[in-house]
Chains A and B, each alone.
Chain A
Amino acid sequence: MGEFIIHDCTLLTRTSGVPPVFNLRELRERLATCGRNVLYHHFCETPLVPCFDNPDYSNDFAAWALMQLGDRVLAERLGIINPYIFPDLENLREQVLEVLDERLSEVHLVPSCQPGGEFFFTEAVTVVFDTGMRAASPDRLPEAIGKMSNGSIYYHFLEARRREPVGIDDFSAWLAGFAGQEAWCAALQTVDFSFFTLTELRDELVRLLQNGGAS
């Protein structure tokens, strides 16, 4: 197994061209047709966006449902969706539409926001580069992670799940190529990253690995 190549990434948000929405029905319509990158951005790229990470929900739709529509039921249902378990973004879209349709069938009045509270659909472009840094062997990984930028943590631990092998972070995928690293791999897969900022996530990964995989 070769050395771990440390990449970094930076993200820049852009408008998507999808008109903003004021109520739940419009949200359903736009989500049915918006680009996959829009969907991905609002579910997965929020940790890199310069905005306060919503402490309750890590995807933008759940946060909007709570804060602007005032619909706690919808926020709870959207907030629990883990975008990384879906093999394809279209499967994620189906699940989200299912939740919205269910909610629309329950409410007597379509939840709407106040003027100024509309949801703006955005997407992002990510620039990825090789940092030139390497972890030569598994025992060097904790130290290497400790020196990573937030962009590297995002790229290797979150965005990696979108790449082959799908659903697995880069650290686990690399460690799996070495004998005797099962405890670390298992520990990494138990990290509930939804409630960490990227800085906190980096510290947590280092802590886990330094403890030999014990939480």
Chain B
Amino acid sequence: MTKLLSAYQGVVNETVISQLRQLGSRLTGRSVVHVNSTREGGGVAEILDWMILLMRDVGLDAHWEVITGNSDFFSVTKKIHNGLQGFPVNISKREWQIYREVNEENAVRLRPILKEADLVVIHDPQPAGLLGLCPDRQGKWIWRAHIDVSRPARSVWRELLPFVSGYDASIFSMSQFAQPLPHPQFLIPPSIDPMSPKNMELDPEELDSVRHQYNLAPDKPLLVQISRFDRFKDPLGVVAAYRLVRAIQPVQLVLAGGGATDDPEGKEVLDEVLEAAAGDPDIHVLLLPPDAHRTINALQRLADIVIQKSTREGFGLTVTEGLWKGKPVIGGDTGGIRLQLVNYHTGFLVNTAEGAAHRIRFLLHHESLRNKMGIKAREFVREHFLLTRQLREYLTLFHILSSGVDSSAIYI
């Protein structure tokens, strides 16, 4: 598969592409190695899929390496992951030993490429131990934390800290997600790929087909929330908001998500949602397969209003996806959703089902304003939340670290 920056011409302004090429040309030939723990599945792999190709296209010698490990290792790293996000976990000395051993095994394989690289980006905690195992490294090493580590389980953070404190820099998605570390911590929010199946333009025929497939009425306003069936996404709150609106005017609701059957709590939440929706033909609860990207895309495009009524959220990239499709979004007043929604401009922040219902009714009543907000929302994403911005920030970081200068302005 090839992915070239020129494919984004027309989606973003020509100056955006030109700026990326200029930044890349000054790094031509520099070797960059990204390391994570999976080639497929999950947000990090999705990012690396395009980032490696685009970094190569602008002149870098970019590589993607994946660490390998047994099930014991991934059980430990799952615990670390949960602990970093604040869930109480108990990780034994033996389990930390497994973490170290698997990192050592991977270091033996990866050391030749890592020690020669000009820049190494280690994604998340799984491969973080590689730094200490490459003492003769020549380049700059960056730890990229994709998760919220602002309130970690203390015991987990205490054990992990020696592995990450030696990096030259770290990257977090937002200030709110960071932890104090003895090196510069840069902030790079996530982004969406406007050419991916989840975000690309779709033909009207495909939208009609999805509408027909799920028995959605073409003449009734449609509310859509795309999310895992997770309590923090508050699907029951969305149903409650829908019912408050439904009492006043006809409306239909789609709650679509995937993967719930693998997760005992997800199954429980899904059952509660199905029970709450039972008997109402205008509530459509859809359990979608993990690769249903185009269906999700179509549902968001068919929506009159996109909802993301989370009570706790990381960055909340589904908000960006909704905004990119020109829809105002009603989102929970939490996490990264606050960065994306401004009342009356790109959508509304709400705290309760009642608040969500009020804003849904307001937007359905003000069609012209809804359309204007949709246009503004799309332009906001074009400016700030497409992958071109994320690539630019990585290239900027590479320049900062390569310069070796500690200054607020660097001339290259």
Interface, chain A (partner B; CB < 8 A): 8, 10-15, 17, 20, 37, 40, 50-52, 54-55, 116, 120, 122-129, 131-132, 147-152, 197, 199
Contact = CB atoms under 8 A, between A and B. Distances in A.
Contacts of B335: 116
Contact of B393 (A12, A17, A132): A12
Contact of B175 (A15, A116, A127): A15
Interface residues of B, number: 46
Contact of A10 (B23, B187, B339): B23
Contacts of B392: 10
Interface stretch (B255-263, B283-291, B382-390): B382-390
Nearest to A119: B175
A149 B392 CA distance: 12
A122 B187 contact: yes
B383 A197 contact: yes
A52 B345 contact: yes
B412 interface: yes
Contacts of B172: 15
Which 7 pairs across A and B sit closest by C-beta, in order of nearness? A120-B175, A50-B384, A149-B15, A13-B187, A10-B396, A15-B185, A12-B396
B363 interface: no
Contact of A149 (B16, B180, B396, B399): B16
B187 A125 contact: no
Contacts of B26: 129
B142 to A, nearest CB: 12
Contact of B185 (A14, A127, A128): A14
A122 B185 CA distance: 10
Interface of B: 13-16, 18-19, 22-23, 26, 172, 175-176, 178, 180, 184-189, 334-335, 339-342, 345-346, 380, 383-385, 389, 392-393, 395-397, 399-400, 407-412
A84 to B, nearest CB: 17
A214 B257 CA distance: 55
Contact of A52 (B14, B380, B396, B408): B380
B412 A15 contact: no
A120 to B, nearest CB: 4
Contacts of A129: 22-23, 26, 411-412
Contacts of A148: 15
B58 to A, nearest CB: 13
Given A197-B383, A199-B383, A11 B176 contact: no
Contact of A12 (B19, B180, B400): B400
Given A8-B22, A15-B178, A151-B19, A128 B409 contact: yes
A50 B189 contact: yes
19 contacts: A10-B395, A10-B396, A12-B396, A12-B400, A14-B186, A14-B187, A15-B172, A17-B180, A52-B345, A52-B346, A120-B176, A126-B410, A127-B400, A129-B23, A132-B22, A147-B14, A148-B15, A149-B15, A149-B19
B366 to A, nearest CB: 17
Contacts of A12: 186-188, 393, 396-397, 400
A10 B24 CA distance: 12
B342 A54 contact: yes
A125 B408 contact: yes
Given A10-B396, A52-B345, A148-B15, A126 B409 contact: yes
Contacts of B395: 10
A199 B19 CA distance: 15
Given A10-B396, A122-B187, A52 B340 contact: yes
Contacts of B334: 116
